[in-house]
Amino acid sequence: MTTFEEHVLGQEKLLEIPGFGEARGSFAWMMSGLTLAARRIEAQIRSAGLGDVYGAEGSENVQGEAQQKLDVVANDAMMECLGSREGVAALVSEEDESAVVVDGDPATGRYIFIFDPLDGSSNIDVNVNVGTIFSVHRRLAEGGLDESMLQAGTEQVMGGYVLYGPSTVLVYTAGTGVHGFTLDAASGAFVLTSEHMAMPEQGSYYSVNEANAAEWPEGFQTYVGTLRSGGLGRAYSSRYIGSLVADFHRTLLKGGVFLYPPTDKQPGGKLRLLYEANPLAFVAEQSGGMATNGVDRVLEIQPEKIHQRTAFCVGSRREMEALAAAVGGKA
């Protein structure tokens, strides 16, 4: 068995990810905080119906969204487990208005950890898959922490997600392919089950909330009509879970396309760039897929604020090239 931490240690050596001082394995030790948090979150989700963790918490997060009780539980778990790890300079969460500075010393606080602690939490009450999405950036040698947090997605050291479902799966990339791990209940370890995962060049599913179709730009309406009519040489089926990590994971495994287009109400898009779009775009590109905001490559968008939103289109190369042709984007 190869555990997540052992695999990350191999990546640390392969990519010469800087450790702390001369200690080999420090980056892997820092990342073990993620798996500790994921196990805590998974345990709470698995027993959600047995305790008082269903439903709304009664407050709103910085996005103006109603916080679910499990949002708070998951955010606390990520903050506690990662905040105690050497090397973490700051933590940026969807649930908090500002970043939490853990280690302001650039000599020791070398990494920015950015995350959505529980994506899709509104689906918890109906027992639908949810997930944790994460991104890691190096602290810049020059400039403050703010500049380090607002780096383009191309500068990510690592990105990935944890999907809590029938099995709990962790998928990540450090720029050398995409690798998947499954939580082994007996040992409590995330064990390597898929190495060098590849998104199919073309799939047979499209995933989008078609209730918003009247508010999409015309190019997106035309494109989805093309998929429905078999214009790409095959009949497409609609699959939309409404939980981003679950929809993305299916797209990674089965191919096709996931769309969250701009709308009249949200012309800049709804999903968050730093901790939703960027890490998933990193995984998509490393598996052979593509990710854009409809026009530009997601990973090249320069963030201006930590909670910046974006339109998000991700999927197999064939579908994404057809999307670019339909909306005037870059293939």
Q: Could you say which DSSP state residue 165 is in?
A: S
Residue 266 Cα distances to 66, 258, 261, 263, angstroms: 18, 18, 9, 5
The CATH architecture assigned to 4-194 reads: 2-Layer Sandwich (3.30)
pLDDT in tens, the chain (331 residues): 899 999 999 988 888 876 655 456 889 999 999 999 999 999 988 876 655 555 555 555 556 565 678 889 999 999 999 999 999 999 999 999 999 999 999 888 999 999 999 998 878 778 889 999 999 999 998 878 999 999 999 999 999 999 999 999 999 999 999 999 999 999 999 999 999 999 999 999 999 999 999 999 999 999 999 999 999 999 899 999 999 999 999 999 999 999 999 999 999 999 999 999 999 999 999 999 999 999 999 999 999 999 999 999 999 999 999 999 999 877 6
Which CATH code fits 205-327? Answer: 3.40.190.80
Looking at residue 28, its pLDDT comes to 92
Task: Give residues with Cβ within 8 angstroms of 309, minimum separation 6.
Answer: 266, 268, 269, 270, 271, 272, 273
Cα–Cα distance for residue pair 230/83, rounded to 1 Å = 50
Residue 316: closest CA among 258, 235, 232: 258
Long-range contacts at 93-100 (CB < 8 A, ≥ 24 apart)? 93/117, 93/275, 94/61, 94/62, 94/63, 94/272, 94/275, 94/276, 94/307, 95/61, 95/62, 95/67, 95/71, 96/61, 96/62, 97/62, 98/306, 99/145, 99/149, 99/306
Domain boundaries, the chain: 4-194, 205-327
Half-sphere exposure of 252 (CA within 13 A, CB side): 28
- N-term to C-term CA, the chain: 39
Total-model pTM: 0.94
Cα–Cα distance for residue pair 330/307, rounded to 1 Å = 25
Task: Give residues with Cβ within 8 angstroms of 58, minimum separation 6.
Answer: 67
Structure tokens at 190: 């995330």
- Write the single-letter amino acid at 210: E
Structure tokens at 14: 């392969």
